[in-house]
């Protein structure tokens, strides 16, 4: 045996001893495939909360929450989660904390104290702030607090333009966002809030699209958003003529941003308009309240192809087609708005938009503007198309002491658009005490299931709802918060996309074929 062969055998033996390799090749003679990728909890999550509605009669509540995982594992990173005012690391300590809105003095050598600092999973933490002068917030969660970390920002404005219940789930920063249902009409005051969580500046373009295509903007290109700062832009200043239904496209040329639209109407109240999911297949818009008095659908086709969509409503008993609205044609690059009226007719529902033809797959985004109430006592909320709950999703901010159903409180909408599914829903402990409660639901295909009676046992303060998909088809979810103020049925709807609390991590496999010439 020659010296080369002896050397190769020695290398193989050493590698086998180190790695515990049992065989060099699969039975077919090909290298053995490595183990399947494992899903492990994320180590860090970042969120951006926009500046609340500036009102002298507004009060904002923040609720932070991380659900408990099935297993706890040791982390190399420390455990911590909290938010700081955008710009708090800039000169003078930024705007955050100067008025002590989070219950601290916000001053000192170490800068402002974090807002809603979270210490352990499974128990929400809350903070109160006056809306007037409250800053945008940015922050991160690390270690065991990172997977599924969510923060709810809810503002109650009792009078003036945009009065109502304005709620938004703080979002992860990104580079592109679509907002169907915005407006530059004279009665609307819509702002896009651009918040940069990083040190480097971001450059952002704003594009508007109406029924005839692109709307010429005066100053929407190349907006500079300095590091760790927020820039609100009034949409009506971007276009020469008012447009009732527009789609706003936000693109970061450089850097990343958090982006949310705040819509304030002089007569119909206000709420936050979150970004729509984008799809080449079906779009699901879950959580239309049973007592909705008017629903408007706004859709847009960003690509080069027109799109024809089937319109269905998932009710508690099955999917139906709204009378006179069987299909929707959306021309490429244009916005279409359709008034669906009181489409739910006293039952909770969710809108399903799917390609009208088999194999149809043009890009589309969509959102709903939903009204409750009558006359001068109307209130607005928005429901964008959302991503499914693939594994788990949470929404915080429910009031453990609020009444259920039509009298207010929290309603969770669960939708299985195509196939039956099973989910587990957990109401967390309250921020002021109580024990979590879980319940399993079997969702029938094409239906919306409304849950309005799941709360922590003996709960006090604010709590969170967590949806876990156990089996079956895809599941979509939305959570409605509501209360009545001076006869106005105030409400806000937040969708529950998957929290992406786990990530696929490939496991390394040994392939010694590289040693063989």
Tell me the CA distances in angstroms from 325 to 248, 279, 302, 337, 340, one per residue in order.
25, 21, 22, 12, 8
Is residue 514 in some structural domain?
no
CA 97 – CA 211 distance, rounded (Å): 44
Q: Give the global pTM.
A: 0.87
Question: For the chain, how big is the Rg over CA atoms in Å?
Answer: 25
> 313 and 321 in contact (C-beta within 8 Å)?
yes
Is residue 43 in some structural domain?
no
CA 227 – CA 89 distance, rounded (Å): 10
**Closest Cα partner for 54 from 232, 225, 178, 207?**
232
Q: What is the span of the domain harbouring residue 485? A: 49-503
Please give the sequence-ordered ranges of beta strands (E in DSSP) within 292-391, or none if there are none.
294-300, 307-314, 319-320, 327-330, 335-341, 349-355, 365-372, 379-384
Burial zone of 87 (CB within 10 Å; 0-12 exposed, 13-18 middle, 19+ buried): buried
CA 66 – CA 125 distance, rounded (Å): 10
Q: What angle do CA 477, 481, 483 make, to 5 degrees?
A: 155
Is residue 397 in some structural domain?
yes
Is residue 23 in some structural domain?
no
> 443 and 449 in contact (C-beta within 8 Å)?
yes
Is residue 127 in some structural domain?
yes
CA 439 – CA 456 distance, rounded (Å): 11
Is residue 34 in some structural domain?
no
Is residue 429 in some structural domain?
yes
Is residue 20 in some structural domain?
no
- Domains contained in the chain, number: 1
Could you read off the pLDDT tens digit of each residue along the chain, which spans 517 residues?
Answer: 444 444 434 433 443 433 343 333 334 444 444 556 778 999 999 999 999 988 888 899 999 999 998 544 444 446 899 999 997 643 333 333 333 333 333 344 566 889 999 999 999 999 998 867 789 999 999 999 999 999 999 999 999 999 999 999 999 999 999 999 999 999 999 999 999 999 999 999 999 999 999 998 878 999 999 999 999 999 999 988 999 999 999 999 999 999 999 999 999 999 999 999 999 889 999 999 999 999 999 999 998 999 999 999 999 999 999 988 899 999 999 999 999 999 999 999 999 999 998 766 789 999 999 999 999 999 999 999 999 999 999 999 999 877 554 445 999 999 999 999 999 999 999 999 999 999 999 999 999 999 999 999 999 999 999 999 999 999 999 999 999 999 999 999 999 999 999 988 876 666 555 455 5
H/E element, 16? helix 3-19
């Amino acid at each position: 045996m020659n010296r080369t062969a002896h050397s190769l055998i020695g290398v193989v033996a050493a590698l086998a001893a180190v790695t515990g390799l049992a065989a060099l090749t699969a039975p077919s003679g090909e290298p053995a495939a490595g183990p399947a990728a494992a899903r492990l909890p994320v180590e860090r999550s970042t969120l951006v909360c926009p500046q609340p509605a500036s009102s002298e009669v507004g009060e904002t509540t923040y609720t932070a929450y991380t659900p408990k995982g099935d297993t706890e594992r040791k982390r190399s990173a420390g455990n911590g989660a909290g938010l700081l005012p955008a710009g708090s690391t800039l000169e003078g300590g930024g705007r955050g904390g100067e008025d002590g809105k989070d219950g601290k003095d916000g001053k000192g050598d170490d800068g402002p104290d974090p807002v809603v600092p979270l210490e352990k999973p499974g128990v929400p933490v809350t903070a109160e702030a006056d809306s007037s002068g409250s800053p945008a917030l940015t922050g991160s969660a690390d270690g065991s607090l990172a997977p599924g970390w969510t923060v709810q920002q809810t503002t109650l404005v009792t009078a003036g333009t945009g009065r109502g219940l304005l709620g938004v789930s703080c979002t992860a920063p990104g580079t592109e966002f679509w907002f169907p249902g915005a407006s530059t009409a004279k009665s609307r005051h819509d702002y896009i809030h651009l918040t940069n969580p990083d040190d480097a500046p971001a450059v952002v373009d704003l594009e508007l699209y109406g029924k005839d295509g692109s709307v010429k903007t005066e100053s929407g290109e190349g907006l500079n958003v300095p590091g760790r700062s927020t820039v609100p832009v009034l949409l009506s200043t971007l276009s020469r003529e008012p447009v009732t239904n527009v789609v706003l496209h936000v693109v970061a040329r450089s850097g990343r941003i958090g982006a949310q639209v705040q819509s304030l109407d002089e007569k119909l109240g206000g709420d936050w308009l979150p970004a729509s999911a984008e799809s080449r297949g079906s779009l699901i818009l879950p959580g239309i309240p049973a007592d909705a008095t008017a629903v408007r659908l706004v859709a847009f086709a960003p690509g080069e192809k027109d799109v024809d969509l089937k319109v269905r409503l998932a009710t508690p008993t099955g999917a139906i087609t709204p009378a006179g609205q069987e299909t929707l044609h959306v021309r490429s690059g244009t916005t279409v708005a359709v008034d669906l009226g009181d489409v739910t007719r006293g039952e909770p529902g969710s809108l399903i938009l799917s390609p009208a033809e088999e194999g149809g797959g043009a890009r589309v985004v969509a959102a709903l503007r939903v009204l409750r109430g009558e006359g001068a006592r109307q209130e607005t909320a928005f429901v964008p198309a959302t991503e499914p709950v693939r594994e788990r999703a949470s929404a915080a901010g429910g009031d453990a002491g609020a009444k259920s159903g039509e009298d207010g409180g929290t309603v969770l909408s669960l939708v299985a658009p195509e196939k039956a599914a099973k989910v587990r829903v957990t109401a967390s402990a309250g921020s002021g005490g109580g024990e979590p409660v879980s319940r399993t639901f079997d969702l029938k295909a094409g239906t919306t299931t409304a849950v309005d009676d799941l709360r922590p046992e003996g709960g006090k303060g604010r709590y969170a709802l967590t949806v876990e998909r156990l089996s079956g088809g895809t599941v979509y979810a939305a959570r409605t918060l509501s209360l009545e103020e001076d006869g106005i049925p105030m409400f806000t709807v937040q969708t529950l996309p998957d929290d992406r609390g786990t990530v696929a991590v490939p496991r390394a496999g040994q392939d010694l074929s590289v040693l063989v010439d």
